[in-house]
Amino acid sequence: MKLGCSYFGNRILRHVAQDMKYLAENHFTYVVHTFSENDFRFYSGAMKEIIRISKECGLFTCIDPWGVGRVFGGEAFSEFVAIHPDVCEMLSDGKPAAIACLNNPAFRKFIHEWTDAALATDADCVFWDEPHFYLSNWMGGRPNTWGCRCQYCQEQFEMKYNIPLPNEETATVKEFKHYSIRSFLQEMINHVHKAGVKNSLCIIPNSVASDSALRDLAGMDNLDDFGTDPYWFGIKRDVREYVGESSRKIAAVCRELGREGHIWIQGFKVPAGREAEISTAVREAVDAGIRNLAVWGFDACAHISSIAPEDPAKTWKVILEAFKSVKDL
């Protein structure tokens, strides 16, 4: 059983050392370190040390482009989109959004730079975290808009389908966006693979249009593991049903394609009195055949007040117990 935990919000090495030792002592086998634009710009040397310390504690190390270009998930701002408004997605209302377009060559160049810095930390794996086009319901989104209608998306769409990019987000537009994400990721995954480092991809649940599109992403060359993060607190879904069905889908596609499947367990925004649902989620994933589980995040995110559980101490205790109960599978 592989058990992982995300770690962020602290770059003070003596505290990192204490926390990594604690994770290893509590049955975690790997850690996902966020490497945001802020880290990339200001903490690259410290990140290399953080990876070294984590490895010394026996942990497998992943590095995460947290919020980079706002193309990836995460509670982190993007300096890149502020400095380069011309690289942002253009929405259906004719105005830009604060997210880089992954079809824009300048953003791809920037991600190559980020990736080279990530590789320089000597992490074992790059964790591609929720890559996406603009989401109207996420941080600063505008209702009833979609992207991207930038110059590069228009050109590439027309080249592929021999028609202009429609004004509506049609099924063909969604297919184009799927292939755009795939092509963007494949370029980066190949680059990481060439450096002898592993690639892991986590997609937003139900963000792909069909099972064949899911298989298409999971089957990318040089991808080592594939998963999703069915966070159920905050949406009106039953934990058993939602985590169970997401896990079965991931387990089936990974079995078919020879990938390792992973599932993230929600350890943040947990309402008081519902902590036990975390154990249910762990059990559902394990029963579906998943043998790689991770929790977001360290200490039940007690220190990130915007998403902290109502009772972080109790939440973390339940997480530790639930993970311990499956560690020998």
Helices assigned H by DSSP within the chain: 13-25, 37-42, 44-56, 79-83, 105-120, 151-161, 171-194, 211-218, 239-257, 277-287, 312-326
Exposed, middle or buried by CB within 10 Å (0-12, 13-18, 19+), for 145?
A: middle
Does the N-terminal peptide bond of residue 88 adopt cis geometry, omega within 30 degrees of 0? no
Residue 74 CA to residue 68 CA, distance in Å, equals 8
Residue whose CB is less far from Zn ion, 23 or 173: 173
Residue whose CB is less far from Zn ion, 149 or 259: 149
Closest to 200 measured CA to CA, from 132, 128, 258: 128
Residue whose CB is less far from Zn ion, 176 or 232: 176
Total residues interacting with Zn ion, rule: CB under 5 A: 5
**Of residues 92-111, which lie at the interface with Zn ion (CB under 5 A)?**
101, 103
User: Least distance in Å: CB of 102 to Zn ion?
Assistant: 8
Residue whose CB is less far from Zn ion, 153 or 220: 153
150 binds Zn ion, rule: CB under 5 A? yes
Residue 23 has phi, psi (to 5 degrees) of -60, -45
Bridge partners of residue 39, in order along the sequence: none
**Of residues 232-271, which lie at the interface with Zn ion (CB under 5 A)?**
none
Interface pattern 31-60 for Zn ion (x via CB under 5 A)? ------------------------------
The DSSP secondary structure of 266-306, one letter per residue, reads E-SSPPTT-TTHHHHHHHHHHHTT--EEEEE-GGGGTT-TT
Residue 81 CA to residue 304 CA, distance in Å, equals 23
Find tokens 């579906």 and name the residue. 288
User: Least distance in Å: CB of 145 to Zn ion?
Assistant: 14
Contact segment (CB under 5 A) with Zn ion among 143-151, 182-190, 253-261, 290-298 equals 143-151
Residue whose CB is less far from Zn ion, 53 or 148: 148
Residue whose CB is less far from Zn ion, 151 or 222: 151
User: Least distance in Å: CB of 159 to Zn ion?
Assistant: 13
User: Is-contact 123 59, C-beta < 8 A?
Assistant: no
Contact segment (CB under 5 A) with Zn ion among 76-84, 134-142, 150-158, 278-286 equals 150-158
User: Least distance in Å: CB of 24 to Zn ion?
Assistant: 43
125 binds Zn ion, rule: CB under 5 A? no
Residue 145 CA to residue 210 CA, distance in Å, equals 22
User: Least distance in Å: CB of 180 to Zn ion?
Assistant: 8
Closest to 32 measured CA to CA, from 52, 57, 6: 6
User: Least distance in Å: CB of 5 to Zn ion?
Assistant: 34
Closest to 226 measured CA to CA, from 213, 235, 217, 238: 217
Residue whose CB is less far from Zn ion, 142 or 291: 142
Residue whose CB is less far from Zn ion, 149 or 262: 149
Buried b or exposed e, range 239-263, using 16+ CB within 10 angstroms:
beebbbbbbbbbbbbbeeeebbbbb
Residue whose CB is less far from Zn ion, 104 or 115: 104
User: Least distance in Å: CB of 86 to Zn ion?
Assistant: 11
- Report the residue from 135, 148, 189, 322 that binds Zn ion according to the rule CB under 5 A: 148
**Of residues 151-190, which lie at the interface with Zn ion (CB under 5 A)?**
153
Contact segment (CB under 5 A) with Zn ion among 32-40, 142-150, 165-173, 204-212 equals 142-150
Chain residues binding Zn ion by CB under 5 A are 101, 103, 148, 150, 153
